[in-house]
Structure 1
Amino acid sequence: MANHVTPSGRETFFPASELIVSKTDLKGRLTYANGLFCQIAGYRESELIGQPHSIIRHPDMPRSVFRLLWDTIEDRREIFAFVKNMARNGDHYWVFAHVTPSFDVTGAMIGYHSNRRVPDREMLETAIMPLYAEVLKIERSHVNGKEALAAGFKALTEFVASKKVAYEELVFSHKSAA
């Protein structure tokens, strides 16, 4: 499925009492999407299954955030991250994602599971949006994709290190993230 969506600039929201849930295989292709995922993203489940999870990637999301996410889950660890996604109609929505590796009965990693909830708005506006904008600016200042990713990742990890907390502490803290 071709995904040539242009951002609309409109933000959409989902109820704080609900969770967006999805599962992927090890390559990041969707194997499950709950009803809220389909509703907020604007796709039927049959259109999503087998597609890369990046079908909802918003161009304002720094690639380096996804590098951090993938590095963490491929290392068999969970991660929490703020993510700006894009619906089929170009509207965007923010989530606070909890992504975990999934294992079979032998302990082999077989995919990934993600629960997304409504993010803390104050945290988004005071810390995450400015940080992502700065990291994205750094990434976009490079023509070469590998250099862009490396520079953005360096900026992201240096920011976290400057706060003298682990990444996990940073995403759960209002004061240390600002």
Structure 2
Amino acid sequence: MAEIFLTPDSLITSKTDLNGKITYGNDDFVRFSGYSEEEFLYKPHNLIRHPDMPRIAFKLLWDTIKGGQEFFAFVKNLNKHQQAYWVFANVTPSYDSSGKIIGYYSVRRCPSKEGVKTLENVYKQLIEAEKRGGMEASLRALQEILRQVNMTYENLCIHLQKQGKVSGWYGV
């Protein structure tokens, strides 16, 4: 499968409704996803989900943003032309004037190469756990990894984006 790479100045942004259907995508979203606005508007954001992404990562995402918190993660996407591309994603809730969540806003940047390398290995382990025992097994595997590094999932992702690796931890 072919892979494409974001440039340091890439800034992919999109908005979704409460159910994850795309309501906006910027020019970089169009460029990297390969979909025209007509093709992606009001479609589920998982339109670009890569099969190498563990389901537990998206469960954590939804649990976090529905709770009103922002979420950070390395995500491997798959565009319309079957080209993979990694992003460092930040997803935040959008609020109306009364403080009610009305949708979600996502900004994706060029990920650190070391972070991609590390999380690609982590995600492979989580997918294998999901194949053996479903989401519960994947969550247990992720919890063990996070215990080893003494970080939350988001903190691990932020650290890998900034530092490229976790000192003294050699991953999976």
TM-score for both structures, normalised by structure 1: 0.88
CA RMSD between the two structures: 1.3
Percent identical residues = 43
Q: Does the alignment pair 1:64 with 2:56?
A: yes
Match 1:150 to one of 136, 149, 154: 136
1:164 CA drift (Å): 1.2
Counterpart of 1:15 in structure 2 is 7
TM-score for both structures, normalised by structure 2: 0.91
Counterpart contact for 2:130–2:137, Cα < 8 Å = yes
Q: Return the letter of the residue paired with 2:97.
A: V
1:81 CA drift (Å): 0.3
Q: Does the alignment pair 1:42 with 2:34?
A: yes
1:16 CA drift (Å): 1.2
Q: Does the alignment pair 1:89 with 2:75?
A: no
Counterpart of 2:128 in structure 1 is 137
Structure 2 alignment gaps of length 5 or more: 160-164
Counterpart contact for 2:95–2:102, Cα < 8 Å = yes
Q: Return the letter of the residue paired with 2:68.
A: R
User: C-alpha distance in 1, partners of 2:113/2:71?
Assistant: 19
Count, aligned residues: 164
Counterpart of 1:167 in structure 2 is 153
Counterpart of 2:162 in structure 1 is none
Q: 1:80-119 alignment to 2 at 5 Å?
A: 80-119=72-111
Counterpart of 2:112 in structure 1 is 120
User: C-alpha distance in 1, partners of 2:42/2:86?
Assistant: 23
User: C-alpha distance in 1, partners of 2:20/2:96?
Assistant: 17
Q: Does the alignment pair 1:24 with 2:10?
A: no
Structure 1 alignment gaps of length 5 or more: 1-8, 143-147
Counterpart contact for 1:67–1:153, Cα < 8 Å = no
Counterpart contact for 1:33–1:45, Cα < 8 Å = yes
Q: Return the letter of the residue paired with 1:84.
A: K
